Amino acid sequence: DAGVIQSPRHEVTEMGQEVTLRCKPISGHDYLFWYRQTMMRGLELLIYFNNNVPIDDSGMPEDRFSAKMPNASFSTLKIQPSEPRDSAVYFCASTKRELVSYNEQFFGPGTRLTVL
């Protein structure tokens, strides 16, 4: 069974460019999470969805960030315009109730974003 799939795995872009990160959760999972990990700030929750509906986006740093989940098998995180301080590893994770009451999240391999 495939795990959480993220693309691209690495992205290098220039300041001001639009960046789109993609995620395919595990089939049957009803929660999807986007995280950002940096050395300085650790692993931060940006936004999460339940049944494709955004539930809490209070972790989204600013209006330059947006996320969508058009269907149960696909989500995007977009940064427009990108800035050097957005450089981080972005993880997508998914879970369902049967996974110890939602406490086990399955993480994707991450997208390493570098903004020059």
Residues that bind other proteins (CB under 8 A): 4, 31, 33, 42-45, 48, 50, 55-56, 91, 93, 100-110
Least spacing, CB of residue 83 vs other proteins, in Å: 23
Q: Which is nearer to other proteins, 45 or 72 (CB)?
A: 45
The two beta strands, 10-13 and 111-115, are parallel
Q: Which is nearer to other proteins, 74 or 89 (CB)?
A: 89
Least spacing, CB of residue 33 vs other proteins, in Å: 7
Least spacing, CB of residue 91 vs other proteins, in Å: 5
In degrees, rounded to 5, the angle at the alpha carbon of residue 66 between the alpha carbons of residues 65 and 68 is 155
Q: Which is nearer to other proteins, 52 or 81 (CB)?
A: 52
Cα(104)–Cα(99) distance, integer angstroms: 5
Q: Choose among 33, 63, 62, 61: nearest CA to 49.
A: 33
Least spacing, CB of residue 95 vs other proteins, in Å: 8
Q: Which is nearer to other proteins, 5 or 81 (CB)?
A: 5
